[in-house]
Amino acid sequence: DQQVKQNSPSLSVQEGRISILNCDYTNSMFDYFLWYKKYPAEGPTFLISISSIKDKNEDGRFTVFLNKSAKHLSLHIVPSQPGDSAVYFCAATLPGTYKYIFGTGTRLKVLA
Amino acid sequence: NAGVTQTPKFQVLKTGQSMTLQCAQDMNHEYMSWYRQDPGMGLRLIHYSVGAGITDQGEVPNGYNVSRSTTEDFPLRLLSAAPSQTSVYFCASSYGTDQETQYFGPGTRLLVL
């Protein structure tokens, strides 16, 4: 029972264009969502997060959108750069817990 | 700060052998956890700890033991390794409050033959 789903295993985008990574979840009780980036042979690093009381959070080139009615989360990267090529994981947490539920990841490749 | 450190980086075991994966953090974080990453499965929680002396099971705890005698260290023990435990293991930590970012170590790649 996958509560957090990333249905696109991979995505290729031209440098300078927008990358949109998607994440769907099934549990309406999730109250905090995060995106992590992972390079090969390294641990995941935190990218951006959003609380369920918001619908958008922005940090430089990265914006996360939350649509609670659709139980859908997306990460926008504008403009995309070759250094953004990595695997991106979305994660969600329940109130009062410290446990993350991760999606399966999307491999982004930004073409120069 | 070194952050979250893990040793070893890579290990090969034979079925039935035991070993301990080490994890340490120097950020005075209360919450620590272990994940495994398998192809197509994302990161799955094995065990976690909300403070010294307190541990609990995650999503996939079978075959693994943990203990937390200090705030800094959270070792993961495989008592009798199985090929199904071939994976990449990540340790993570956070301050342990709600909606807190977790920081991950670099990972340990384990191959069980």
CA A45 to chain B, closest CA, distance in angstroms equals 7
Of residues B2 and B97, the one with the higher pLDDT is B2
Which residues have a Cβ under 8 Å from the Cβ of A108 and sit 6 or more positions away? A10, A11, A12, A13, A19, A21, A77, A80, A84, A85, A86, A87, A88
Please tell me the distance from the alpha carbon of residue A9 to that of residue A108, in angstroms, as a whole number.
9
Give the pLDDT score at B97: 67
pLDDT tens for A32-72 read 999 999 999 999 999 999 999 999 999 999 999 999 999 99
The 3-state DSSP class for residue A9 equals: coil
CA A108 to chain B, closest CA, distance in angstroms equals 15
With an 8 Å Cβ cutoff, are B98 and A96 in contact? yes
Residue with the two structure tokens 């994440």: A23
The 3-state DSSP class for residue A82 equals: helix
Q: How confident is the model at residue B86 (pLDDT cuts 50, 70, 90)?
A: very high
Give the pLDDT score at A95: 85
CA B19 to chain A, closest CA, distance in angstroms equals 21
| Residues of chain A positioned with their CB less than 8 A from the CB of B100 | 98
Nearest to A4 by CA among A100, A107, A108, A109: A100
pLDDT exceeds 70 at position B98: no
Q: How confident is the prediction for chain B on average, in pLDDT?
A: 94
A31 near B CB under 8 A: yes
Out of B35, B48, B107, the one facing A98 most closely (by C-beta) is B48
Of all residues in chain A, the one with the smallest CA distance to B30 is: A98
Give the pLDDT score at B41: 85
Q: How confident is the model at residue B2 (pLDDT cuts 50, 70, 90)?
A: confident
With an 8 Å Cβ cutoff, are A100 and B102 in contact? yes
Please tell me the distance from the alpha carbon of residue A104 to that of residue B38, in angstroms, as a whole number.
9
A105 near B CB under 8 A: yes
B44 near A CB under 8 A: yes
